């Protein structure tokens, strides 16, 4: 690697990380990333004085042995007044309209995490400070740098404080707790505690391993001249920060209520926990006029979501067996309404957890439904026991097929490949969205087909007939036809879906796409050498893939002949067009998501890059274009509106 290649590699890594951590739209596998990362690391070892400040290696520093030092924020970090219902909102709006009757409102999620202040100077992240008492916090820069959704450098060169919430995504939270349980440590009670605890680790490596996420919600000291908060925030996102899953500018009560209801409903599907919606006056001048009380801004309010914890009774613990044979205990509780949904089940993770919490059948427990799809038991009310509670034993045999269970670390596994639960769940997986996407093949139907003896493997799906289906309870002609049509439409699916549907360990969606891309219909003849030559596929993945194909070759071939998957088209050289071979940067809000426009340009043979430099041929901009536009103009780079771009293509 020479110096220029090193600089390019850092830019590439940052682009991949931006796609992964900020846009949620990965364009490289973990292994591909790691490979280039190690090359960068090697270069830096032999050229320590050439290390770039935004190199991803600069994210993990040394242990802070003395503990954290105190640090003053450049401007105060405020808290928010809470309201809990429509009445509260009405009163707050009346008060606000009395101060200024012409304002509009910016609505965004209230994230449940720990607040953080970032200070950037000359475009470089120089400090990360916890909120503390709002005036003075703790200096945790080393830990903050490990958070991948926080850019180490930004294109805004003036001094700015960027404020936001550090959160742990729900799936990551589950993962961390599983690992803690495995090591015999108590799990975190909620993602908020996990985020706050992770930020204050003395060893940044521990923080790094927690996969924290930063979500910006405002600025402190700044020289931005936007008149609207919504524009200011667009500019911040444009600098490389994550956008909220939902935000809106609203006119008044009805619109605020509507967006609140929408957010409350949708939040189950968001990756992070929310505990409400924040409503902020959108006009910056009006914000300045309205000012602050001693504690909170008069121009903002937190509209909280209803409580999500309830006390209930544990009635039973049942066992579920998944596709891979793992047996998971599930709590059955006295049905309880939490935030509009009746909760009857809760996850228990595993038997170590049941023993650690000493959960007994009959116990009074607190369950939490925190936007997580599956509620969980967070506390056992030991003092409420009357002696009738019953301990649960670890199972020795599979609850479904009866075969002996194997304990693998904290997991208990059914080893029987023909176990009904494993077969049924593999079929459900085969039909799921990121696989063959067969509508109508959910749990109930697959179980019914299995029990009737019609389907004992995925192959059997393709010999179902109208006649056989009509014999099943609840199947009339229409339903049977819909199902047969859906199964039929799985034929000639894209090859990557077919590969993904096989459920090969370590081979997920991204890897399946890469394999389909690299080998096309020759995917069965891939060798280890060829596999690991793909950027993003390493030893473990290659071996898992080859072993699966060795053992299951016959079944895969049979399935292949039925489904006849379609290989991706070989990328042809793009026809002549004004963008072929050009380097392009996109900025601002466009009529379609930027990744889509990027894809379109790439198919024309253009290279789409993340930052403007002298080598950029065109900057194509949408609404709210920010610093990239200014930079392009100052470097004399040609700029085009989205319309002008389209014009050049017709």
CB of 167 to ligand IVH, least distance (A): 9
Q: Binder to ligand IVH among 137, 204, 218, 538 (CB under 6 A)?
A: 218
Are the C-beta atoms of residues 217 and 280 closer than 8 Å to each other? no
Are the C-beta atoms of residues 174 and 251 closer than 8 Å to each other? no
- Please, which of residues 56-85 interact with ligand IVH by CB under 6 A? 78-80
Q: Which helix or strand (DSSP H or E) is residue 103 part of?
A: none
CB of 53 to ligand IVH, least distance (A): 28
Residue carrying the six token digits 């056989």: 468
Q: How many residues bind ligand IVH (CB under 6 A)?
A: 16
Are the C-beta atoms of residues 212 and 204 closer than 8 Å to each other? no
CA count, 13 A, side-chain hemisphere, 199: 28
> Nearer Cβ to ligand IVH, position 10 or 300?
300
> Nearer Cβ to ligand IVH, position 219 or 531?
219
Binding string, residues 533-572; x marks residues near ligand IVH by CB under 6 A: ----------------------------------------
Are the C-beta atoms of residues 485 and 464 closer than 8 Å to each other? no
Binding range to ligand IVH, per CB under 6 A, among 109-117, 425-433, 479-487, 527-535: 109-117
> Nearer Cβ to ligand IVH, position 107 or 455?
107
> Nearer Cβ to ligand IVH, position 115 or 207?
115
CB of 244 to ligand IVH, least distance (A): 7
Q: Binder to ligand IVH among 96, 115, 149, 234 (CB under 6 A)?
A: 115
Q: Token pair for residue 153?
A: 């450098």
Q: Is 572 left (phi over 0), alpha (psi -120 to 50) or beta?
A: beta
Helix residue ranges, H only, 291-387: 351-357
Q: Binder to ligand IVH among 144, 278, 455, 504 (CB under 6 A)?
A: 278
Are the C-beta atoms of residues 168 and 213 closer than 8 Å to each other? yes
- Please, which of residues 128-147 interact with ligand IVH by CB under 6 A? 131
Q: Binder to ligand IVH among 160, 281, 300, 504 (CB under 6 A)?
A: 300
> Nearer Cβ to ligand IVH, position 37 or 214?
214
- Examine residue 217 and tell whether it contacts ligand IVH (CB under 6 A): yes
CA angle 422, 423, 428 (to 5 degrees): 95
**What's the rounded Cα separation, in Å, for the pair 85 and 301?**
12
> Nearer Cβ to ligand IVH, position 79 or 407?
79
Binding range to ligand IVH, per CB under 6 A, among 33-41, 110-118, 222-230, 566-574: 110-118
Active-site positions read: 110
Cα 276 to the center of its chain, rounded Å: 19
Q: What is the DSSP letter of 650?
A: -
- Examine residue 297 and tell whether it contacts ligand IVH (CB under 6 A): yes
Cβ density class 93-122: b for 16+ within 10 Å, e for less:
beebeeeeeebbbbbbbbbbbbbbbbbbee
> Nearer Cβ to ligand IVH, position 304 or 345?
304
Residue carrying the six token digits 């459900």: 428
CB of 285 to ligand IVH, least distance (A): 16
Binding string, residues 238-277; x marks residues near ligand IVH by CB under 6 A: ----------------------------------------
CB closest to ligand IVH, residue no: 115
Interstrand relation of 405-408 and 364-368 (parallel, antiparallel or unpaired)? unpaired
> Nearer Cβ to ligand IVH, position 82 or 535?
82
Q: Is 474 left (phi over 0), alpha (psi -120 to 50) or beta?
A: left
Within 10 angstroms of residue 92's Cβ, the number of other Cβ atoms is 18
Residues with Cβ within 8 Å of residue 155, at least 6 apart in sequence:
123, 239, 611, 626, 627, 628, 631
CB of 219 to ligand IVH, least distance (A): 10
CB of 215 to ligand IVH, least distance (A): 7
Binding range to ligand IVH, per CB under 6 A, among 107-115, 225-233, 569-577, 635-643: 107-115
Q: Binder to ligand IVH among 31, 44, 71, 165 (CB under 6 A)?
A: 165
**What's the rounded Cα separation, in Å, for the pair 385 and 229?**
53
First to last CA, the chain: 41
CB of 86 to ligand IVH, least distance (A): 20
CB of 76 to ligand IVH, least distance (A): 9
**Furthest-apart CA atoms within the chain: distance in Å:** 81
> Nearer Cβ to ligand IVH, position 163 or 497?
163
Are the C-beta atoms of residues 29 and 20 closer than 8 Å to each other? no
- Examine residue 195 and tell whether it contacts ligand IVH (CB under 6 A): no
Write down the number of H helices and E strands in the chain. 23, 22
Q: Binder to ligand IVH among 7, 228, 302, 546 (CB under 6 A)?
A: 302
> Nearer Cβ to ligand IVH, position 147 or 632?
147
Q: Token pair for residue 532?
A: 């690991």
CB of 592 to ligand IVH, least distance (A): 27
Tell me which residues touch ligand IVH (CB under 6 A). Answer: 78-80, 108-111, 115, 131, 165, 217-218, 278, 297, 300, 302
């Amino acid at each position: 690697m020479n110096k220029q290649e090193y600089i390019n590699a850092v830019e590439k890594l940052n682009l991949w990380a931006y796609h992964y951590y900020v846009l949620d739209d990965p364009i490289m596998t973990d292994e591909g990333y790691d490979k280039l990362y190690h090359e960068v690391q090697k270069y830096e070892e032999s050229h320590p004085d050439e290390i770039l400040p935004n190199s991803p290696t600069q994210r993990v520093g040394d242990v802070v042995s003395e503990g954290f030092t105190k640090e003053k924020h450049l401007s105060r970090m405020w808290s928010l007044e809470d309201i809990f219902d429509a009445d509260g909102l009405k009163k707050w709006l009346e008060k606000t309209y009395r101060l200024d009757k012409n304002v509009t409102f910016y609505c965004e999620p209230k994230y449940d995490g720990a607040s953080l202040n970032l200070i950037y100077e000359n475009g470089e992240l120089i400090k990360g400070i916890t909120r503390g008492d709002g005036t003075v916090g703790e200096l945790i820069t080393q830990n903050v740098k490990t958070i991948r959704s926080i850019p180490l450098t930004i294109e805004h060169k003036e001094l700015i404080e960027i404020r936001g919430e550090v959160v742990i995504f729900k799936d990551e939270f589950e993962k961390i707790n599983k690992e803690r349980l495995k090591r015999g440590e108590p799990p975190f009670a909620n993602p908020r505690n996990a985020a706050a605890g992770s930020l204050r680790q003395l060893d940044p490596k521990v923080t790094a391993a927690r996969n924290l996420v930063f979500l910006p919600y405002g600025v402190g000291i700044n020289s931005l001249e936007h008149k609207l908060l919504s524009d200011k925030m667009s500019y911040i996102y444009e600098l490389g920060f994550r956008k909220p899953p939902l935000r809106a500018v609203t006119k008044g009560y009805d619109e605020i209520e509507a967006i609140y209801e929408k957010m409350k409903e949708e939040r189950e599907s968001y990756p992070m926990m929310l505990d409400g919606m924040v409503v902020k006056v959108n006009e910056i001048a009006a914000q300045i006029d309205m000012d602050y009380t001693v504690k909170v801004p008069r121009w903002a309010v937190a509209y909280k979501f209803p409580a999500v914890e309830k006390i209930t009774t544990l009635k039973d613990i049942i066992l579920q067996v998944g596709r891979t044979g793992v047996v998971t205990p599930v709590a059955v509780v006295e049905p309880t309404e939490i935030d509009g949904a009746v909760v009857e089940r809760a996850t228990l993770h595993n038997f170590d957890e049941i023993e650690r919490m000493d959960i007994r059948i009959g116990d009074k427990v607190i369950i939490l439904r925190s936007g997580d799809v599956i509620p969980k038991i967070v506390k056992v009310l030991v003092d409420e026991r009357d002696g009738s509670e019953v301990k649960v034993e670890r199972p020795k045999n599979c609850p479904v097929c009866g075969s002996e269970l194997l304990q693998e670390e904290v997991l208990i596994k059914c080893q029987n490949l023909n176990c009904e639960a494993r077969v049924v769940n593999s079929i459900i997986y085969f039909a799921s969205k990121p696989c063959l996407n067969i509508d109508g093949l959910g749990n109930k139907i697959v179980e019914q087909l299995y029990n009737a003896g019609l389907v004992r493997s995925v192959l059997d799906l393709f010999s179902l007939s109208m006649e056989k289906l009509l014999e099943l309870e609840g199947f009339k002609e229409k339903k049977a036809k819909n199902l047969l049509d859906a199964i039929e439409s799985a034929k000639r699916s894209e090859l990557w879906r077919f590969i993904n549907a096989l459920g090969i360990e370590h081979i997920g969606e991204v890897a399946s796409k890469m394999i389909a891309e690299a080998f096309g219909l020759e995917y069965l003849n891939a060798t280890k050498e060829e596999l690991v030559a793909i950027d993003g596929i390493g030893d473990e993945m290659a071996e898992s893939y080859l072993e699966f194909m060795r053992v299951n070759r016959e079944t895969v071939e049979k399935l292949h002949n039925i489904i006849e998957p379609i290989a991706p088209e070989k990328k042809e050289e793009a026809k002549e067009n004004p963008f072929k071979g050009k380097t392009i940067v996109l900025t601002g809000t466009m009529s379609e998501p930027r990744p889509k426009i990027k894809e379109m340009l790439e198919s024309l043979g253009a290279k789409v890059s993340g930052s403007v430099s002298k080598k950029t041929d065109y900057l194509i901009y949408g609404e709210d274009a920010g610093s990239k536009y200014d930079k392009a103009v100052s470097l004399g780079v040609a700029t085009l509106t989205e319309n002008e771009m389209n014009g050049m293509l017709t």
